Amino acid sequence: MGDPSGEPGSSMHGVTGREQSFAFSVASPIVPTDTTAKFDLPVDTEHKAKVFKLFSFANPHMRTFHLSWISFSTCFVSTFAAAPLVPIIRENLNLTKQDIGNAGVASVSGSIFSRLVMGAVCDLLGPRYGCAFLVMLSAPTVFSMSFVADAGGFITVRFMIGFCLATFVSCQYWMSTMFNSQIIGLVNGTAAGWGNMGGGITQLLMPVVYEIIRRCGATAFTAWRLAFFVPGWLHIIMGILVLTLGQDLPDGNRSALEKKGEVAKDKFGKIMWYAVTNYRTWIFVLLYGYSMGVELSTDNVIAEYFFDRFHLKLHTAGIIAASFGMANFFARPAGGYASDIAATYFGMRGRLWALWIIQTAGGLFCVWLGRANTLVTAIVAMILFSLGAQAACGATFAIVPFVSRRALGIISGLTGAGGNFGSGLTQLIFFSTSQFTTEQGLTWMGVMIVACTLPVTLIHFPQWGSMFLPPSKDPVKGTEEHYYASEWNEQEKQKNMHQGSLRFAENSKSEGGRRVRSAATPPENTPNNV
C-alpha cells in the first residue's frame, strides 16, 4: 500500500531504495504534517513517518523498520548458513566439488520465483503476514538440515531455504506503508543493506555455534546439524515478533485496508510490455547479476576458500568471510550517495560513469583476490572487492527509478531477479566444476564482472545522454516529458492516465546536471527532490 491509487506495481515503489522523493501521490510539493495524529514521529496525512529516527523503536514506524530489516537479515543468515560449514559438511555427506557448487546455485535460485510471488502475497495479505508467513513456513526447511544424508538432500534443502529471501519484497513493501516517499529512498536502502549484512553475520555466527556445540561433546558430524537449529529458532522468534509487535499500517491492522475499494487503474499486461521492451531493463538485469549476483556467489564460496587455500581454522575463515558481507552496512548506501554526488555535477551521465567505475573497480579487485597468494593480500583484495560490488548495487538502484515511471515496480523486480540469476550462473560456470580451482574461478569471475559491466556504455537517455554521447538536441524527443509520456498511448493520454509520469518528468530535470540545476526554476515548480 505504498501508493493509494493502488496501481499494480505500485506496491513495489520504494523497493529500489534510491528513488527520488517525488511525491507521485501528493499534489503539493511540501508534505503537510498531520498535527492531530499522536505518534512519536511527525507524520503526513496518511500517517506515514516523515522522519527516519534510526535508534528509536517507537511504534509503529521505527518498530516496523527494525522488525523488517532483522527478519530479512535472518533469512540471509539461514540461506548462507551452510557456506562457512561446508568444510565439515562435505566430509559428512561425501560431497564432490560439483555437489557443493550445485548446492550454492540452488540456494540462490529459489528466490527468483518466490520474490515474484511475494509481491502478490503482500497485496493479498499485507506485508506483516507476508513476512511472517514466509519466515515461519521456511523454519521447517532450516530444521530439516538435520535429516540430510547425501548430496541430493543437501541440494534440496538449500534450495528450499533459499525461498525465504523473498522477505526482501515484504521488507520494502512494509517500509513504504510506514514511511513517506520523501525519505523512503534512504529507509529502503538502509533496510536492504542491513538485511544483506546477514550474509556476513552468518559466516561469523555458524562456525562459533558449531565450535561451542563441539566443545560440549558432540562429534563434528552431529555438531553442524545442531548448529542449524540456531537460524531455525531465529526464524520462529522473528515470525512471532512480527506477528505480535508489528502492524500493517500506521493506524492499525488490515481491517483499514477494507476501505480500499479502488480497482487497479493500470493493466498488468501493459506495464509488463513497457518493462520488457525497454532495452535498459535488460542491461540492468545483467549488471545487477554482476554486482549483487557476485556478492551472493562470494558469500557462498569465500569461507571455504580461505579455509582451504590458507589453512585457517574454521572460525578464522568465518571471521574473514564475515567482513565481506558486513561491509554492506555502509558500502551499499555509500554507492547510492556517490551516484547522487556524481549527479549533482554531471547529471545522469555522472551516475552512469559512477556505476561503471565502481563496478569495474570491484571486478578488478576480484581478479586480484583470485591471484593473491598470501593471506594478507587476499584479505585486502577481498575487502576492496566487497566495497566495489556492494557500492555498485547501491549505484544501480540510484539509476533504475529513471528507466521507467510506469513500470518501475516490475523493472525493479526483474533487476532483483537478475541478481539471483547472475549468482546462480556464476556459481555454475566457475565454482561447480573441477575445471577451475576456486582461485581461478574468482579470477575469471572478476574478468566476467568487467566484461558484463561494459553494457552500461550502451544506456542512453535521449534527454540526458549516455556515457559517451551527449543528450539529444531535438526539442521534442530530447525532453524528459517525451521520454516518460511515451509509455502511454493516445487513448491513455486522453484519459489523463499519464499525469503521474509528467509530474515525475518535471521533477527529474535535475538529472540534466549542473547546468540545468543552476538554471533558475519558476517559483511554483519547486522540485521536491532531496
Partner 1 sequence: MAIHKILFASLLICLLIQSIHAATKERLFSDLEKSALEVTATPSRVGEGVVLAAGVDKLSITWKVSSTATKEPEFNAIKVKLCYAPASQVDRPWRKTENELFKDKSCPHKISSWSYDPAMKTAQSFDYTLERDIPTGTYFVRAYAVDAKDHEVAFGQSTNEDKTSNLFSVQAISGRHKSLDIASVCFSVFSVVALLVFFVNEKRKAKIEQSK
Residue 485, all three cell numbers: 509520456
Least separation in angstroms between CB 130 and partner 1: 12
Residue written as grid cell 566487497:
386
Least separation in angstroms between CB 288 and partner 1: 28
What gap in Å lies between CA 213 and CA 530, rounded to an integer?
Answer: 50
| Ramachandran bin of 217, using left for φ above 0, alpha for ψ from -120 to 50, beta for the remaining angles | left
Least separation in angstroms between CB 96 and partner 1: 4
Least separation in angstroms between CB 452 and partner 1: 26
Residue 462 neighbours by CB distance under 10 Å: 19
Least separation in angstroms between CB 521 and partner 1: 36
Nearer Cβ to partner 1 (113/221): 221
Nearer Cβ to partner 1 (135/343): 135
Least separation in angstroms between CB 83 and partner 1: 15
Q: Which residues on neighbouring strands pair with residue 249, listed in sequence order? A: 252
Residue 52 is classified by DSSP as -
Class of residue 55 by CB neighbours under 10 A (exposed 0-12, middle 13-18, buried 19+): exposed
What DSSP assignment string belongs to 165-219?
Answer: GGHHHHHHHHHHHHB-TTTHHHHHHHHHHHHHTHHHHHHHHHHHHHHHHHHTT--
Q: Which residues on neighbouring strands pair with residue 179, listed in sequence order? A: 49
Nearer Cβ to partner 1 (26/387): 387
Three-state DSSP state, 43: strand
Q: What are phi and psi of 438, to 5 degrees?
A: -60, -35
Nearer Cβ to partner 1 (59/146): 146
Least separation in angstroms between CB 153 and partner 1: 11
Residue 438, all three cell numbers: 576456486
Least separation in angstroms between CB 94 and partner 1: 5
Q: What are phi and psi of 49, to 5 degrees?
A: -70, 140
Contacts of 341 (CB under 8 A, 6+ apart): none
Nearer Cβ to partner 1 (112/317): 317
Nearer Cβ to partner 1 (309/514): 309
Nearer Cβ to partner 1 (257/469): 257
Least separation in angstroms between CB 108 and partner 1: 22
Nearer Cβ to partner 1 (276/319): 319
Output the furthest CA–CA distance in the chain (Å, rounded).
77
Residue 498 neighbours by CB distance under 10 Å: 22
What gap in Å lies between CA 58 and CA 62, rounded to an integer?
Answer: 5
Least separation in angstroms between CB 376 and partner 1: 5
Residue 477 is classified by DSSP as T
Residue 68, all three cell numbers: 523488517
Which spans of this chain sit near partner 1 (rule: CB under 8 A)?
87, 90-92, 94, 96-98, 129, 132-133, 136-137, 139-140, 143-144, 146-147, 149, 219-222, 224-226, 229, 232-233, 235-236, 239-240, 243-244, 253-255, 308, 373-374, 376-377, 380, 434, 437-438
Nearer Cβ to partner 1 (30/137): 137
Among 160, 177, 162, 166, smallest CA distance to 133 is for 166
Nearer Cβ to partner 1 (308/506): 308
Least separation in angstroms between CB 309 and partner 1: 10
Least separation in angstroms between CB 308 and partner 1: 5
Q: Which residues on neighbouring strands pair with residue 252, listed in sequence order? A: 249
CA distances from 173 to 49, 185, 206 (A): 15, 12, 30
Question: 502-524 burial by CB neighbour count: b if 16+ within 10 A, else e?
Answer: bbbbebbbbbbbeeebeeeeeee
Three-state DSSP state, 461: strand
Alpha-carbon Rg for the chain, nearest whole angstrom, is 23
Nearer Cβ to partner 1 (134/169): 134
Least separation in angstroms between CB 379 and partner 1: 9
Q: What's the count of helices (H) and strands (E) in the chain, helices before strands? A: 23, 0
Nearer Cβ to partner 1 (255/494): 255
Residue written as grid cell 538440515:
145
Contact 211, 325 (CB under 8 A): no
